């Protein structure tokens, strides 16, 4: 049987390096179609939990993970030598930015070093980690060919970006169309032969670079438009206009407009980070990305704008921020998930502490988080807690929270998410970011 024909069957061995928010959902979906999956991790605890069928990712159903583990279709290991037995390797490792906001390639580099040790003929290698255009061809390909094997002949290399939206009830790993681009046409063909068995829809493009750029466009588009409405919120506060009303009114246009809402900043692994990959790459080509840089400047200023709004609200109540008790409502970067990555609530938390406030938080999805070498615990939300606070700042609008209860029992609320819209008894209590900059009365 030709190797390409073998890839079109379920009689293949599929390896995934990295079992986090991207890798583990992919592993479960691959196993659910009957393909044997080996997850390769450096975290001993993750390996233990997976092999015991214990889930740690919110977007995966506990029963789905347990089922594929019990059937022997998924297991995890710390041993990278299993790559020599794989037909396919998918790389799903983190790609953060360093302090200078340049790409940190260390996780991809470490994965490549292990792959090169165990690479063999007919191995299909697919990078899923988001990174800058050219990574697959310019960075990965030379390192892999140091093995003496040739791409497109001895092994096959492609890029297929993850498009996970944590907490999305409609779109998940399997039914989100999968963009795929190989270093060569035959690389695309081989990767496509595998992924068509797993995903509902494949979107082949002409090159790895096109696939890399498509992913960056998706998140740069969102980042720039969020920056636009964040600046609009600031403008509306100065104009005495409700930005939330303006956006909803504009959204009644049945064409040419897409709704975005302001907030306390950007969060998640993708939108705050991915555009910087493109910005960094273009700097190497002597080009400055004007839209990206400006939107980033606006978005990163929003946590401080929330703090300034809080200070204004406290001032209206004849109070200072220093020595005030402040409760942050929500630490996750968006509603109804437990994902804390890049959450702007941390920037608000840090700024308040630096100004001498005593800061606590409540988040039903995030029971605790690490802070300055210790853990901060989520406090139970009750009347006593709310009445003891000088102000409540809504940083994440979890749907499970009773905001009328918050309004009824709080002295002052800074609402950065419009969660209090339409509620009773907000007079003299609620200052909505982008709501016209005056305390509701």
Domain segments of the chain as ranges: 3-206, 208-441
Query: Has residue 1 got a pLDDT over 70?
Result: no
Query: Has residue 107 got a pLDDT over 80?
Result: yes
The secondary structure element, H or E, covering residue 28 is helix 23-32
Closest CA to 189 of 180, 197, 198: 180
- What pLDDT score was predicted for residue 351? 97
- CATH homologous superfamily for the domain 208-441: NAD(P)-binding Rossmann-like Domain (3.40.50.720)
Q: What angle (nearest 5°) sits at the alpha carbon of residue 328, between those of residues 327 and 329? A: 110
- Are the C-beta atoms of 137 and 209 separated by less than 8 Å? yes
pLDDT digits (tens, 9 = 90+) for 180-208: 999 999 999 999 999 999 999 999 999 99
- Are the C-beta atoms of 303 and 348 separated by less than 8 Å? yes
- CATH homologous superfamily for the domain 3-206: NAD(P)-binding Rossmann-like Domain (3.40.50.720)
Q: Is the pTM of the predicted complex or chain greater than 0.85? A: yes
- What pLDDT score was predicted for residue 42? 96
Q: What angle (nearest 5°) sits at the alpha carbon of residue 46, between those of residues 76 and 336? A: 120
CA separation for the pair 69, 53 (Å, rounded): 6
pLDDT band at 169 (very low <50, low <70, confident <90, very high): confident
pLDDT digits (tens, 9 = 90+) for 366-384: 999 999 889 999 999 999 9
CA separation for the pair 302, 318 (Å, rounded): 24
- Are the C-beta atoms of 392 and 329 separated by less than 8 Å? yes
CA separation for the pair 322, 76 (Å, rounded): 49
In terms of Cβ atoms closer than 10 Å to its own Cβ (0-12, 13-18, 19+), residue 395 is buried
Q: Do you know the residue count of the chain?
A: 441
pLDDT digits (tens, 9 = 90+) for 201-248: 999 999 999 999 999 999 999 999 999 999 999 999 999 999 999 999
> Read out DSSP for 33-96?
TT-EEEEE-S-HHHHHHHHTT----TTS-HHHHHHHHHTTSEEEES-GGGGGG-SEEEE-----
Assess whether the region 3-206 and the region 208-441 belong to the same CATH fold: yes
Percent of the chain whose predicted confidence (pLDDT) is above 70: 99
Query: Has residue 305 got a pLDDT over 50?
Result: yes
Q: How confident is the model over 313-320, as a mean pLDDT?
A: 94
pLDDT band at 439 (very low <50, low <70, confident <90, very high): low
- What pLDDT score was predicted for residue 220? 95
Place of tokens 């492609």: 158
Quote the tokens at residue 12.
């293949």
pLDDT digits (tens, 9 = 90+) for 252-288: 999 999 999 999 998 887 888 889 889 999 999 999 9
pLDDT digits (tens, 9 = 90+) for 83-103: 999 999 999 999 988 877 788
In terms of Cβ atoms closer than 10 Å to its own Cβ (0-12, 13-18, 19+), residue 252 is exposed
Catalytic residues: 270
Residue 432, Cα to own-chain centre: how many angstroms? 26
Quote the tokens at residue 27.
């592993």
- Are the C-beta atoms of 212 and 131 separated by less than 8 Å? yes
CA separation for the pair 68, 31 (Å, rounded): 6
Q: How confident is the model over 138-166, as a mean pLDDT?
A: 95
- What pLDDT score was predicted for residue 184? 98
Mean pLDDT for all residues in the chain: 94
- Are the C-beta atoms of 174 and 150 separated by less than 8 Å? no
Q: How confident is the model over 13-41, as a mean pLDDT?
A: 97
Question: Dihedral sign, CA of 74, 76, 82, 87?
Answer: positive
Closest CA to 229 of 24, 415, 417: 417
pLDDT band at 47 (very low <50, low <70, confident <90, very high): very high
Q: How many CB atoms lie within 10 A of CB 64?
A: 16
Q: How confident is the model over 146-174, as a mean pLDDT?
A: 93
Query: Has residue 81 got a pLDDT over 70?
Result: yes
- Are the C-beta atoms of 125 and 115 separated by less than 8 Å? yes
CA separation for the pair 33, 174 (Å, rounded): 11
> In DSSP terms, which residues pair with 203 in a beta bridge?
179
Quote the tokens at residue 20.
């986090």
pLDDT digits (tens, 9 = 90+) for 385-432: 999 999 999 999 999 999 999 999 999 999 999 999 999 988 889 999
Quote the tokens at residue 403.
């905001």
Query: Has residue 441 got a pLDDT over 50?
Result: no
3-state secondary structure of 305: helix
pLDDT band at 56 (very low <50, low <70, confident <90, very high): very high
Query: Has residue 167 got a pLDDT over 60?
Result: yes
Residue 281, Cα to own-chain centre: how many angstroms? 21
Q: What angle (nearest 5°) sits at the alpha carbon of residue 230, between those of residues 225 and 231? A: 100
Place of tokens 């588009």: 221
């Amino acid at each position: 049987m030709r190797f390409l024909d073998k890839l079109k069957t379920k009689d293949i061995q599929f390896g995934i390096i990295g079992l986090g928010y991207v890798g583990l959902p992919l592993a479960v979906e691959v196993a659910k179609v009957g393909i044997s999956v080996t997850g390769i991790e450096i975290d001993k605890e993750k390996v233990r939990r997976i092999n015991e069928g214990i889930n740690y990712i919110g977007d995966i159903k506990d029963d789905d993970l347990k089922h594929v583990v019990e059937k022997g279709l998924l297991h995890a290991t710390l041993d990278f030598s299993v790559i020599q037995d794989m037909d396919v390797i998918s790389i799903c490792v983190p790609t953060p930015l360093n302090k200078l906001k340049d790409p940190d390639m260390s996780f991809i580099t470490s994965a490549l070093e292990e792959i090169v040790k165990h690479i063999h003929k007919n191995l299909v290698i697919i990078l899923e980690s988001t990174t800058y255009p050219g990574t697959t061809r310019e960075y990965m390909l030379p390192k892999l060919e140091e093995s003496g094997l040739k791409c497109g002949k001895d092994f096959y290399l492609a890029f297929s970006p993850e498009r996970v939206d944590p907490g999305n009830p409609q779109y998940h790993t399997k039914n989100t169309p999968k963009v795929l681009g190989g270093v060569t046409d035959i690389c695309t063909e081989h990767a496509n032969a595998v992924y068509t068995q797993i995903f509902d829809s494949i979107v082949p493009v002409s090159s790895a670079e096109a696939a890399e750029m498509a992913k960056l466009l998706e998140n740069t588009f969102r980042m720039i438009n969020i920056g636009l409405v964040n600046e609009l919120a600031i403008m509306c506060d100065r104009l005495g206009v409700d930005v939330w009303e303006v956006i909803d009114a504009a959204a009644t246009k049945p064409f040419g407009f897409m709704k975005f809402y302001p907030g306390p900043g950007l969060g998640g692994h993708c939108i705050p980070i991915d555009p910087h990959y493109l910005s960094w790459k273009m700097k190497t080509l002597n080009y400055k990305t004007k839209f990206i840089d400006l939107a980033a400047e606006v978005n990163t200023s929003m946590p401080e704008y929330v703090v300034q709004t809080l200070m204004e609200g406290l001032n209206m109540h004849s109070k200072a921020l220093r020595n005030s008790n402040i409760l942050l409502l929500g630490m996750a970067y968006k509603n109804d998930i437990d994902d804390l990555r890049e959450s702007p609530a941390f920037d608000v938390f840090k700024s308040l502490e630096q100004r001498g406030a005593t800061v606590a938080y409540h988040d039903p999805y995030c029971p605790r988080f690490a802070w300055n070498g210790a853990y901060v615990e989520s406090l139970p939300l009750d009347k006593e807690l709310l009445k003891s606070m000088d102000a409540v700042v809504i940083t994440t609008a979890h749907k499970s929270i009773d905001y009328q209860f918050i309004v009824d029992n709080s002295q002052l609320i800074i609402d950065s998410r419009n969660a209090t819209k339409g509620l009773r008894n907000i007079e003299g209590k609620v200052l909505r970011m982008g709501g016209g900059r005056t305390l509701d009365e």
